[in-house]
Structure 1
Amino acid sequence: MTKPSILVVEDEPLIADDIADTLTKNGYYVVAIVDEGVDALQAMEDHKPDLAILDVNIEGDMDGIELAPKLGIPFVFLTSYYDKATLDRAKVLHPAGYIVKPFSERDLIANVELALHKVPQQPVAAKAHPEKLFVKRDQEILSVMSDQILFAEAFDNYAYLYTESEKYIISHTLKSIEEKLVPLGFLRVHRSYLINFEQIDSISEGYVFLKGHKVQIGKSFRKEFMDRLSLL
């Protein structure tokens, strides 16, 4: 079986070497380590990797966010910053992952696996068609598509539903909402949180990041969640 091949674009040598060593140890093939966009594009021509890990701040005339769409392959952003301005620039490119420094080996491999295998090992309804749901807001009943929901959060005997731009309060417990959303591709990752698997941007330091939101992974849910990622 051919090893997945990965290009590392990182201008800090120690971090670049650490990433390469970790990837190699976990069964991946690192085709090249480069520190600027021009060299990254040349490496793409020479090696045709399956995935790129891109530091947002790199040497040269273009940063990682400007470089990413020129590669033509899935990419995972790597950065020391998870600020709104950087995220707004990054998320429009639909990265396959987003790793925040400092990161652990588990974070790195989880994000690489998520990028290479977006469909979980055990199909969790990600293949199901999005469903139109209805929520109350004051005197209105509003529609929201299930694939627009990022996550649900428990709040006493109520729950909040979050989309990229809205937050709805639902007069049901998270448990009752879970029964409706799990068949539509949602996973319980904490006693207070239910997430949309397809909306995951990255996993880091025990948290899942979804379009600017940070959701904690509960210890009792961690194993089942990591198993969904089909980690090597």
Structure 2
Amino acid sequence: MDCIIVDDESVARQIIKTHVLNTPELTLVGEFEDSIEAFNFLKDNKVDVAFLDIEMPEMTGMDLVQSIPDLPQIILITAQKEYALEAFEYNVVDFLVKPVRYPRFMKALDKVKQNLQKTSEKAPEDQIYVKADNKIVRLTLEDIFFIEALSDYVIINTLQKKYVVHSTMKGMEKRLAATNFIRVHRSYIVNINKIDTIEDMTIVMPQKEIPIGASYKSSFMEKLNFL
């Protein structure tokens, strides 16, 4: 996990840095002594965790938390315990009181890992790897228009190319659950973002007209959520 440290006190910053360097799953990608530098860094760089001091000149840690649109996991650090209640109002992961001991540091990091795991489980994949033409190919889901059945294989259709993959339609359907793909026929799975129009029981796509199976119509219409 990539992380940054933001603290205007060099001694406190060094303690957190030592903890980070002693933790194999953490990679320190930035170290800042004021929040403005950190803010400018975070505008252009994505990190997983920020260890952030509350009391800093010009822009406090709380100000920084409110200023970043795409927040990393925030662990606030301060010498003042009375900030704790206010800190948790900003949906931070944890609140550490200086001097930070390594066991307490690791407890906070465990909370970060739990949060990231939950996020990862919820996030749908945006690409898949398939074996085609005796090689492993990475496909971006939005490049796929539709998938059609071919005996013990499926054909994955993109605008530029077709990929013949040893798989079943049921296997592809399960693999693409929680994405914009839906099965509309025993022989077809479509990317709903690539549909031009729907006429009667037919889906019109740039490359092909695809029939809608009667048993798939209801779930397909629910997925579309049309007005």
Return the TM-score normalized by structure 2. 0.47
Structure ID, larger Rg: 2
Relative contact order: is structure 1 or structure 2 higher (C-alpha 8 Å, sep ≥ 6)? 1
